[in-house]
Structure 1
Amino acid sequence: MNNDELLLALKNAMRGEMDSINIYQNALTNSEDAEVISFFRDMADEERRHYNYLLEYYKQITNNEEIKIIDTEDTENLIFTDNFLHRIGSNQMLFSAISVATLLEKNAFEFYQRSADQADNAILKEFFNKMVTWEKRHYEDLIKIADTAEKTYWQKNRFQPF
């Protein structure tokens, strides 16, 4: 990847991270449950960190600086209580936010995988691979939430999928 291609990839990635931030920020305003609010706030904060990592690499490239490793922060695995899953399934806006976020996270890890495959710079390749791992974890967590919360969603709305 040349610098123009890298800058375009980083811009596209920043746009995706900003979309995720907006989804999570909007979702947290649709609940009064502390656990739900905390989850969406934590997710928005993590996506904001991702955005800032991307922005730092973008600045390094646009300023013709040597690309340096950025200190990144790993996050812990999430545990979801029954109350949390019930709250998500009981609220159309929250359930929809999880659905949209799942698609955004899937798009993100696929995009980062392509970027890692195409990156010539070892530091950026490693960074993109780390992003794949993080976004894939988000995706898998959101799939678990959606699958479990869906039962509540169907029951609450008296849907019969048969």
Structure 2
Amino acid sequence: MKRDELFIIKQAILNEIEGCEFYKMAEKQADNEEAKESFLILASEEMKHAEYLKELFDKMEKDDEDLKLAYLLEPPSPHIFDWTKNKFKRSAMNVSIYGMAVNLEKESVEFYEDARDKTENSEARKLFDILVKWEKVHLEQFLKAYETSMDEWWKEQGYEPF
């Protein structure tokens, strides 16, 4: 099972790096400093997650015994932002960026839930539960921003279906 867990953690590292790069790209599209700063902070968080997972991977790879994941330092906790304040030049851009962010976070949640469900190592399950919670915080933030952006876009188009 250790090899499977190492593979999952390697994939998780890549997922976090992809998230980091996405948020850097979103920062370049933002037209106000608050949005730019928020995306850069989130990119930094994703990189911290990747570094944490890399350290975990290295420890697991070197250790022949079962690694007691619960004894590791707690991974860096996500900050909470009010993403509804962050505006881009066009509401269509908001919808696109927040929509992609929602999908990215959903995929991360599903990835960690799947990893948690597949592992037989109870300590690994605890780690994956922590990662699921982090990604759900991001998902909830982006869902709110996405819904707000959709409402703004509908208003700009002269449609207010609700």
2:139 — aligned with what? 139
Give TM-score, length-normalised by structure 2: 0.83
Q: Aligned partners of 1:21, 1:94: CA distance in 2, in Å?
A: 18
Change (3 A) 1:77 1:135: same
SS of the residue corresponding to residue 29 of structure 2 reads coil
Q: Aligned partners of 1:29, 1:127: CA distance in 2, in Å?
A: 32
Corresponding letter in the other structure for 2:150: E
1:59 — aligned with what? 58
1:45 — aligned with what? 44
Unaligned runs of 5+ residues in structure 2 are none
How far does the alpha carbon of each residue in 1:8-59 deviate from its partner, in whole angstroms, 9 at most, with x for none? Answer: 1112212211221111000101123111112111211111111112111211
CA deviation after TM superposition for structure 1 residue 92, in Å: 3.8
Q: Aligned partners of 1:99, 1:3: CA distance in 2, in Å?
A: 35
Identity of aligned residues (%): 24
> What is the number of residues matched between the two proteins?
157
Structure 1 segment 19-34 matched on structure 2, within 5 A: 19-34=18-33
CA deviation after TM superposition for structure 1 residue 91, in Å: 4.8
Instruction: Give the ranges of 4+ consecutive aligned residues of structure 1 lying more than 4 Å apart after TM superposition.
Output: 159-162
Structure 1 segment 53-92 matched on structure 2, within 5 A: 53-64=52-63, 67=67, 68=69, 69-80=72-83, 84-85=85-86, 87-88=87-88, 90-92=90-92
Give TM-score, length-normalised by structure 1: 0.83
